[in-house]
Amino acid sequence: MSESRGSGPPSGGPSGQQLPLQENLSLDSSCFSSPTVNFLQELPSYRSIARRRTTLLSRDKQSGTLLNPADSSSSHLEGEITENFNSQSIRKYALNISEKRRLRAIQETQMKYLSEWDQWKQYSSKSWKRFSEKAREVTRHLELWREDIRSIEGKFGTGIQSYFSFLRFLVLLNLVIFLIIFVLVLLPVLLTSYKFTNSTFVLIPLKDMDMQCTIHPVSTSGLIYFYSYIIDLLSGSGFLEETSLFYGHYTIDGIKFQNFTYDLPLAYLISTIAYLVLSLLWIVKRSVEGFKVNLIRSEEHFQSYCNKIFAGWDFCITSRSMADLKHSSLRYELRADLEEERIRQKIAQRTSEETIRIYSLRLFLNCIVLAVLAACFYAIYLATTFSQGHMKKEIDKMVFGENLLILYLPSIVITLANFITPIIFAKIIHYEDYSPGFEIRLTILRCVFMRLATICVLVFTLGSEITSCDDNTCELCGYNQKLYPCWETQVGQEMYKLMIFDFIIILAVTLFVDFPRKLLVTYCSSWKLIQCWGQQEFAIPDNVLGIVYGQTICWIGAFFSPLLPAIATLKFIIIFYVKELSLLYTCRPSPRQFRASNSNFFFLLVLLIGLCLAIIPLTISMSRIPSSKACGPFTNYNTTWEVIPKTVTTFPSSLQSVIHGITSEAFAVPFFMIICLIMFYFIALAGAHKQVVIQLREQLSLESRDKRYLIQKLTEAQQDLRDQ
Amino acid sequence: MGSKQTVFTHEQLEEYQDCTFFTRKEIMRLFYRYQDLAPQLVPLDYTSCPAVKVPYQLIGSMPELKDNPFRQRIAQVFSEDGDGHMTLDNFLDMFSVMSEMAPRDLKAYYAFKIYDFNNDDYICAWDLEQTVTRLTRGELSAEEVTLPAPAEPVPGPCGKPCADSCVTSAHFLSFPVSVG
């Protein structure tokens, strides 16, 4: 490409070159004749940018100079190069390989004139770079599911690939959470109970406690029917209740090793706090990269337009059908942009009457949305109270199906609500008359809120059940010890049931809906109904909400059921393979594509919302509801959180006073005010920067117009001079 | 790696490693891909640096490029004479820039070259028209492609923007375009 243009020999720098005019230049190109281009390249701004980049940008113009070291300007360039001895940066230069080779040869000869110390530094940095590259290659092979995700990316695009990367991230997150819990809580208990180390359990008897609080009826039935094993497995009751799956198993106050006593209650609490903090930090770290990209893709239209045109094509596509799809999706996006433009014009032309009508309609529809949400929450509340109430009755007397139905009633109601409400929301949003992009975002936001709030409602219902008693017997132990002698285990059981049911539903939907649908579409495509229904599309937002829902359950449940993260890891691994198979064999790619850079940020944002919603019930149950006295590591404390103050009292007094100082109001209030001030400062700074950026942009476009005008005048003047 | 390969000398492989973003293994793998395109044309011994060019038709039929609407421009940009026929050096260069290890600046520089259909160092209205047409496979109607811009400086697909902001190479690189 270079040589096709710079055909003449360079004569005293780039300004003297004559460019051959191309016949098929565009309509607007009358100003872009060759003298104009020459002038533009002589401008100091162009040259300083070219030099600043340290890439020999106009390599075409200066390729002659590289070949010909006698030229004065080339030696100036070489002077620049010799300042930068790092040979690894050659690869970043915008030159082709033969020129880079020449540059490298020059550098090597230059190296001979260096001192021995510099030579050794060069050599060692080069071999370190090689070694780190090899190490990176090896670790890349260890990356989980790399080949699968790559092939999905090639066949279905980067939007769906980002879903599977997100799923992989959750698998790793759950694995790390389980490792934390294992090391801090499970390992000492296992070591002691299986007598691997010479340690014993420390059981401190309760003092000043009403013995009624400690009664924990363990059901021991003689002959157990086989199906009750299945029910136990699915609902976490019966033989599973006493295992290390649930909180109740850890009724240990400490583990006495040879040199020290391991404080198990403290470790249990620390593990919970640790996994919540770790999840928060990891998600924030991952989303910061996506946020930066999102900031660049602002609502500024020229920028988003440029992004679509110049960065719209996915260069990783390897299949014909995917290429067709990408073409149609780009077409769709450009048409959608034009549509948005038309809508914006229409909105600008709205009369005040219409505006009032639209806003009152929106208000009314939002009230309907709130009413729908309230109805769902109330249904979940009813289902939970009904289920909890009937579970206490004689379960063995009921029939198998009825039993399971009652146990799983809350899960069933939640799933039905999550299935119906998106359809309702999608219908409602049509009448609200928003732009298409905003419609999609608002619908997704409502669905996210619906899904995640249902778990909170369930947990709060349970909480209210636990702390409410019929005849004031709560004052004895702080909770309803008749119905919930070991309430943490029962909350854990509910979370376990939710997780199992969610898993079963995902498998069932894939097996009994996706695959038959595909079979029907393939073999009975003559029926009109089937044709209308069409083949399955991989709906990214729904799937993402599904796995965020599962992860939120895991976060809430991990405190009450320490093995739940391990179950979640297995569940997500199985879901990965199931979804992959479903994608490859039953789905056709959707014409409306998610952009990867946008979607990563969106997924992590939803996950962050889930984490925040998970922290609320955990903090309330840890600090407000008294821990059960009949089971668990916190029998000797009023609430779970009390472990921390009691541990602090065992610290040396200087450390104690420091901690007391930090947690007192005298420190917290000024600290909070300073944080607020800093935040306001940054908001104001960002606003000011935005203003400056807008002004500079306007100025830039005006400047370029001025530049073109001046150059035109100059060339005309030159022309006149030459003609004379 | 104690590779017993006889294709390149040790010095050549070192050069390639320094000049591209690839490791030894990847360079060899790419060489064999190149060789597979035209087995009778490409010798298995590059120690003497033979001047062999694989014609564009074979390059354009590679699975990575055959569905890309810009494959012709890509081959033209990276080939030595701008005609699309590539030597091994050009081939490695192309893959090096397109690989995920290349920095954004470098990619943006070559992207500018690729979208500059008439090679005049500017992306003008005609270049944009070509780009949009290839992206949508000519299925946007003619008016949609050249939709005149509305009153505000907000563009339709190929309206005023480039006339107002004169998209030169330097401008392109300093523009905060998110690549991918």
Which whole number is the average pLDDT over A45-57? 55
CA dihedral A377, A382, A383, A388 (to 10 degrees): 130
Nearest chain B residue to A136 by CA distance is: B23
With beta carbons less than 8 A apart as the criterion, state whether A237 and A409 touch.
Answer: no
Burial of A620-634, coded b for 16+ CB within 10 Å and e otherwise, reads ebbeebbbbbbbbbb
Q: Give me the DSSP letters along A132-169.
A: HHHHHHHHHHHSTTHHHHHHHHHHH-HHHHHHHHHHHH
- CA-to-CA distance for B97 and B83, rounded, in angstroms? 19
The pLDDT of residue A18 is above 90 = no
**Ramachandran area for residue B82 (φ above 0: left; ψ -120 to 50: alpha; else beta):** left
What is the greatest pairwise CA distance in chain A?
A: 118
A4 chain-B contacts, CB cut-off 8 A: 81-83, 119
Which residue has 């240990």 as its token pair?
Answer: A252
Binning chain B into helix, strand and coil, the percentages to the nearest 5 are 50, 0, 50
From A447, A419, A456, A617, select the one nearest A545 (Cα to Cα).
A447
Contact in structure between A99 and A63 (CB atoms under 8 Å): yes
User: How far apart, in whole angstroms, are the C-alpha atoms of residue A413 and residue B173?
Assistant: 54
Q: Which residue has the higher pLDDT, B99 or A81?
A: B99
| Cross-strand bridge partners of residue A537 | A588
A318 neighbourhood in chain B, CB within 8 Å: 63-64, 67
Q: Which residue has the higher pLDDT, A642 or A596?
A: A642
Mean pLDDT, chain A, rounded, equals 77
Per mean pLDDT, which range of A421-425, A467-471, A489-493 is the poorest? A467-471
Q: Is the pLDDT of residue A73 over 60?
A: no
Out of A49, A87, A313, whose CB is closest to B135? A313
Contacts of A701 in chain B (CB under 8 A): 153, 164-165
For A519-557, the three-class secondary structure string (H helix, E strand, C coil) is HHHHHCCCCHHHHHHCCEECCHHHHHHHHHHHHHHHHHH
Determine, for residues A32 and B173 on separate chains, whether the beta-carbon distance falls below 8 Å: no
Which residues of chain B have a CB within 8 Å of the CB of A2?
82
- The pLDDT assigned to A678 comes to 97
> Residue A550 has what pLDDT?
93
Nearest Cα of chain B lies from the Cα of A304 at a distance, in angstroms, of 8
How far apart, in whole angstroms, are the C-alpha atoms of residue A571 and residue A549? 13
pLDDT digits (tens, 9 = 90+) for B92-114: 888 888 887 888 778 888 888 88
Q: In DSSP terms, which residues pair with A255 in a beta bridge?
A: A201, A262
Check B173 against A49: CB less than 8 A apart. yes
pLDDT in tens, A498-557: 999 999 999 998 888 888 888 887 777 677 776 666 677 777 878 888 899 999 999 999
pLDDT in tens, chain B (180 residues): 455 678 888 888 888 888 888 888 888 888 888 888 888 888 888 888 888 888 888 888 888 888 888 888 888 888 888 888 888 888 888 888 888 788 877 888 888 888 888 877 777 778 888 888 888 777 666 556 555 333 222 233 333 333 333 344 444 444 433 333
10 Å Cβ neighbour count for B122? 26
pLDDT tens-digit series, residues A175-222: 999 999 999 999 888 888 888 777 777 777 766 656 667 766 666 555
Per-residue pLDDT averaged across A101-108, rounded? Answer: 82
B93: nearest CB among A97, A309, A707: A97
Structure-model confidence comparison of residues A115 and A173, the more confident one? A173
Q: Does residue A31 sit at the B interface (CB-CB below 8 Å)?
A: no
Cα gap A569→A178, rounded to integer Å: 9
Interface-testing mutation among A15, A111, A315, with chain B (most B C-beta atoms within 10 A): A315
Please give the DSSP secondary-structure letter assigned to residue A256: E
B40–chain A nearest CA distance, Å: 24
The pLDDT value given to residue B107:
82
- Asked whether the beta carbons of residue B136 and residue A307 sit closer than 8 angstroms, the reply is no
User: What pLDDT, on a 0 to 100 scale, did the predictor assign at position A13?
Assistant: 35
Is the Cβ pair A3, B82 closer than 8 Å?
yes
Measured distance CA(B156)–CA(A301) in Å, rounded:
10
Helix (H) or strand (E) holding A261: strand A261-262
> Which residue in the block uniquely carries the two structure tokens 């059960």?
A628
pLDDT for residue A351 is more than 50: yes
Please name every residue paired with A261 in a beta bridge, in sequence order, or none if there are none: A256
Interface of A with B in 673-712 (CB under 8 A): 700-701, 704-705, 707-708
CA distance A649 to A90: 61
Selection from B160, B171, B68, B156 nearest residue B112 by Cα: B171
The tens digit of pLDDT for each residue in A109-134 reads: 877 777 788 888 888 888 888 888 88
Asked if residue A482 has pLDDT above 80, the reply is no
Residue whose C-alpha is closest to residue A266's, from A658, A661, A650, A554: A650
The minimal CB distance from A37 to the residues B64, B121, B162 is found for B121
Of A25, A597, A705, the CB nearest to B118: A25
Q: Judge: A309–B93 Cβ closer than 8 Å, yes or no.
A: no
What is the per-residue pLDDT for A558?
A: 93
What does residue B78 show for φ and ψ, rounded to 5 degrees?
Answer: -90, -10
A residues 162-201 closer than 8 Å to B (CB): none
Radius of gyration for the alpha carbons in chain B, expressed in angstroms and rounded: 20
By Cβ distance, the residue of B109, B154, B178 closest to A301 is: B154
Q: Which residue shows structure tokens 């009508």?
A: A357
The answer to whether A430 contacts chain B (CB < 8 Å) is no
Tokens of A548: 């965020």
Question: Of A25, A87, A98, which is closest to B18 when you measure between CB atoms?
Answer: A87
Query: Looking at beta carbons, which pairs linking A531-537 to residues 24 or more positions away fall under 8 Å?
Result: A535/A586, A535/A587, A535/A588, A536/A582, A536/A586, A536/A587, A536/A588, A537/A587, A537/A588, A537/A589, A537/A590
Q: Please list every residue in chain A whose beta carbon sits closer than 8 Å to the beta carbon of residue B157.
A: 305, 309, 334, 338
| Ranges A93-107, A310-324, B11-25: which has the least confidence | A310-324
Q: Is the pLDDT confidence value at A10 over 80? A: no
Residues with Cβ within 8 Å of residue A215, at least 6 apart in sequence: A481, A485, A630
CA distance A11 to A3: 16
Sequence-separated contacts (24+) of A223-232 with Cβ below 8 Å: A227/A400, A228/A396, A231/A400, A231/A403, A231/A404, A231/A407
Q: How confident is the model at residue A17 (pLDDT cuts 50, 70, 90)?
A: very low
* Structure tokens that stand for B39 in this block: 């087995």
Residue pair B114/B73 in contact (Cβ under 8 Å)? The answer is: yes
A591: tokens are 């014409």
Task: Please report the residues numbered 208 through 237 in chain A whose beta carbons come closer than 8 angstroms to any beta carbon of chain B.
Answer: none
Most confident residue range from A43-47, A318-322, A674-678, B57-61: A674-678
Residues 609..638 of A with a Cβ closer than 8 Å to B: which?
none
Q: Are A157 and A589 in contact (CB under 8 A)?
A: yes
Q: State pLDDT tens for residues A259-273.
A: 888 888 899 999 999
